Chains A and B, each alone.
Chain A
């Protein structure tokens, strides 16, 4: 488990990361979400000790530099274009293997896994963003680390690449590892992540499971249609449910379909429809981070 405790980072007058604490569990994919400028990348850099700040991060109870071979503890992809443009892809990985005390044979294995074997002898300067991401993922998995920390790894990947990445990360976590991944592709994240850490303006907004995050969104609820809508509304409100009424239906929050069905039956109210409506991750995210955006566009600016 990665334990992050009270990490903070200040840039002159701006608090980039403000007393963040959360955990990244093994066996799970943890999504790291936040608006642009929320401090996600800075948080990751603080966790790795790349930037100086207060607080500390422990990997299975030990700081990263206390391990003999940190590359076997954590693999990182913070920037897809982090390579010398004319040094070949294979040599780029050989350097990381040398520095991390990793067997050189892993280099070709990693390139094979990400589908870059054919361009192993080419300089990555002319790689597409998707190919660069794959090289970055190869670098991250080189040491078969227990933890993966990936910042926007799906950027630039084609649909096949995104599907591959999703399956790869889920399988990686299923093998008893932990994946900590940030992404703005919320639909992908909703399919991939088990837990979610949400930050805004450097502060923790949510640290919960994906299912709880979505269930607790005001966009989640139960849709009910009935010929006796007003009577049903009275019954639900008297039982302390939160009800939003529209012309032909009610949206009920805080009650399960089972409970609503039983209340309707007990009160002799017929139902035409009773269905659970799950919020999307995007709806839940926008609801949570409302007011935490660092940079927002005004409507009508693009004239």
Chain B
């Protein structure tokens, strides 16, 4: 198992796309948090004691890119047919898939931690360079931490899930963009307030809802996390069975 994990990490960190996408994410975090949420911060927001929390959760929307890295990790194998090596050198497809999940989880969590630290840092630098001062910030550390880590990790695993199911690079990335944006928006028109139970709508509420009492039509972060987790579990059961049964091409 250790051998399979080691190989997956090496796959992840020996292609340019990992560095390009990660670099793009970090650049966007610095720009959005430093310029938009820092330099250009409104006077009202300067007095908001939860501005750092907003910075973190806002920047976490870039977790989408972590999902793209996860998709590339799998779909490159099928596109370049290295999957035949992967499945031949290992004596178990279960090990291969578990190793991919662990590698993507580790990457997604690290990316989330970096985003979560960098965004308030860039924001406060932007505010400071513009000559403003933020009011003292209140940060509910553990609340922000679990919601951030769950969101980043879950997005990564959702990307990996789509890749294992679809196996085609363009198809998986297209679905990743279309599912939360277009498909769930259209379904939302039908489902009205129940649309909060759709997969990516529920995942979004993990970071967008407030802790404590929730207004109608919104889920508490814990509930939203449990709902998305249920989707993930069901999706992964299907993906796992297909991975074991399907031809490797």
A residues sitting closer than 8 Å to B (CB atoms) are 45, 48-52, 64-71, 74, 76, 78-79, 81-88, 91-92, 94-96, 98-101, 139, 143
The answer on a CB contact under 8 Å between A49 and B87 is yes
Given contacts A51-B247, A99-B7, contact A66 B82 (CB under 8 A): no
B residues sitting closer than 8 Å to A (CB atoms) are 3-4, 6-7, 10-11, 14-16, 76, 80-82, 84-92, 245-249
The answer on a CB contact under 8 Å between B14 and A51 is no
Partner of B85, one of A52, A68, A76, A94: A76
Q: Which 3 A-B pairs have the closest CB atoms?
A: A99-B7, A100-B89, A98-B7
The answer on a CB contact under 8 Å between B85 and A82 is yes
The answer on a CB contact under 8 Å between A48 and B88 is yes
Measured in the bound complex, the distance between the Cα atoms of B4 and A294 in whole Å is 40
- Please indicate the chain A residues that have their CB under 8 angstroms from the CB of B90 in the complex: 70, 99-100
The answer on a CB contact under 8 Å between B84 and A78 is yes
The answer on a CB contact under 8 Å between A50 and B247 is yes
Residues of B contacting A: mostly: helix
Closest to A11 in B: B247
Partner of B82, one of A65, A69, A82, A86: A82
Partner of B89, one of A51, A70, A79, A81: A70
Measured in the bound complex, the distance between the Cα atoms of B246 and A38 in whole Å is 22
Partner of B248, one of A51, A65, A66: A51
- Please indicate the chain B residues that have their CB under 8 angstroms from the CB of A81 in the complex: 80-81
- Please indicate the chain A residues that have their CB under 8 angstroms from the CB of B245 in the complex: 52
- Please indicate the chain B residues that have their CB under 8 angstroms from the CB of A88 in the complex: 14
The answer on a CB contact under 8 Å between A74 and B88 is yes
- Please indicate the chain B residues that have their CB under 8 angstroms from the CB of A91 in the complex: 10, 14
Measured in the bound complex, the distance between the Cα atoms of B89 and A82 in whole Å is 14
Q: A51-B247, A52-B247, A99-B85 are in contact. List 15 more A-B contacts (CB 8 A).
A: A51-B248, A52-B245, A52-B246, A64-B91, A69-B91, A76-B85, A81-B81, A82-B80, A82-B81, A83-B82, A84-B82, A87-B14, A94-B10, A95-B7, A99-B4
- Please indicate the chain B residues that have their CB under 8 angstroms from the CB of A66 in the complex: 91
The answer on a CB contact under 8 Å between A85 and B80 is yes
Closest to B85 in A: A96
Measured in the bound complex, the distance between the Cα atoms of B245 and A64 in whole Å is 16
Q: What are 15 A-to-B residue pairs whose CB atoms are below 8 Å?
A: A48-B88, A50-B84, A51-B249, A69-B91, A78-B84, A83-B80, A87-B14, A96-B89, A98-B7, A98-B10, A99-B3, A99-B85, A99-B86, A101-B3, A139-B85
The answer on a CB contact under 8 Å between B87 and A84 is no
- Please indicate the chain B residues that have their CB under 8 angstroms from the CB of A67 in the complex: 91
Closest to B16 in A: A86
Closest to B79 in A: A84
Query: Chain A's nearest CB lies how many Å from the CB of B99?
Result: 9
- Please indicate the chain A residues that have their CB under 8 angstroms from the CB of B247 in the complex: 45, 50-52
Closest to B96 in A: A99
